[in-house]
Structure 1
């Protein structure tokens, strides 16, 4: 039996995802990628997500259900702050279907993750946001988030990641 978590919004509940949710998780990922104009970059499959989320348990997913229908998800994982000496939660994706926005679902999901971070003795809840995504930036600021303008995200991926890995000689 799957445990649901009641929220302040009538007919909206949260739950931790299970293997049977992989197809809806992938659907949410694709919808978010489409919104971010990055759908062509999605290479995740149900098999990859099953392995990463439920076999290796690299990340976790919260599903938001409105009137028993999945309408939102948050995918997150733990990172670690050496300065704090504590783990943190990094929110990779938060997505609410467009037709259900404006009901406070995003706020509920973000505040649930903050509660989870506190319960797990984490020092931080962090995420990244695209510069052009003004609605999300405004939403995050209203929730009390502060932009880390003095930090720049760097990434090594694809062939560059392989090339860098080959530089290590052991």
Structure 2
């Protein structure tokens, strides 16, 4: 019915669609400023990220897990899961679990010091999902960001 595999360039249009769906769910519908071409360039020319996709035999790409390497001064190499998303109609079939576990296997294969991700505090389904893996969910650390616009204005 579906298979989990590494994404290919041809999948980036569907992956962008999933990223956009996730942004809507996360109440940030206007936050996505990348294009299909950006994903192709960053994922396949510059190798900044990798992505597993769940492909349904009839419906096409129905889920994805996008991740990339980071470095921790405390733990050494780490792996960051940026997005894990499955279309709502296909949830509860173990697709998210298989995507997540493929990223876990990648982290093990890369011998990283830790695997990390962020999750919104109000996203109870995601919090429950990660708790099944005995993940540590930290209430102390705050996420800091500086936008592209703010960077452009920095002098």
Q: TM-score, normalised by structure 1?
A: 0.85
Task: Give the counterpart of 2:74 among 77, 80, 83.
Answer: 83
- CA shift digits 1:108-154 (9 cap, x unpaired): 11111111101111111110011111111111112211111121111
8 A contact 2:15–2:61 mirrored in 1: no
The RMSD of aligned alpha carbons is 1.4
- Does the residue aligned with 2:30 lie in a helix, a strand or coil? helix
The residue aligned with 2:106 is 116
Q: 2: distance between equivalents of 1:59 and 1:40?
A: 22
Task: Give the counterpart of 1:26 among 7, 16, 35.
Answer: 16
1:1-170 paired onto structure 2 within 5 Å? 11-67=1-57, 69-84=60-75, 86-164=76-154, 166=155
- Does the residue aligned with 1:155 lie in a helix, a strand or coil? coil
How far residue 158 of structure 1 moved from its aligned partner, in angstroms, is 2.5
How far residue 67 of structure 1 moved from its aligned partner, in angstroms, is 2.9
Q: 1: distance between equivalents of 2:139 and 2:42?
A: 31
Q: TM-score, normalised by structure 2?
A: 0.93
Q: 1: distance between equivalents of 2:74 and 2:33?
A: 34
Q: Can you give the 5+ residue segments of structure 1 that lack an aligned partner in the other structure?
A: 1-10
Q: Can you give the 5+ residue segments of structure 2 that lack an aligned partner in the other structure?
A: none
- Runs of 4+ in structure 1 deviating by more than 6 angstroms, as ranges, are none
- CA shift digits 1:43-93 (9 cap, x unpaired): 111121111111111111111123363210011100012212x31110000
8 A contact 1:25–1:73 mirrored in 2: yes
How far residue 35 of structure 1 moved from its aligned partner, in angstroms, is 1.1
How far residue 28 of structure 1 moved from its aligned partner, in angstroms, is 0.8
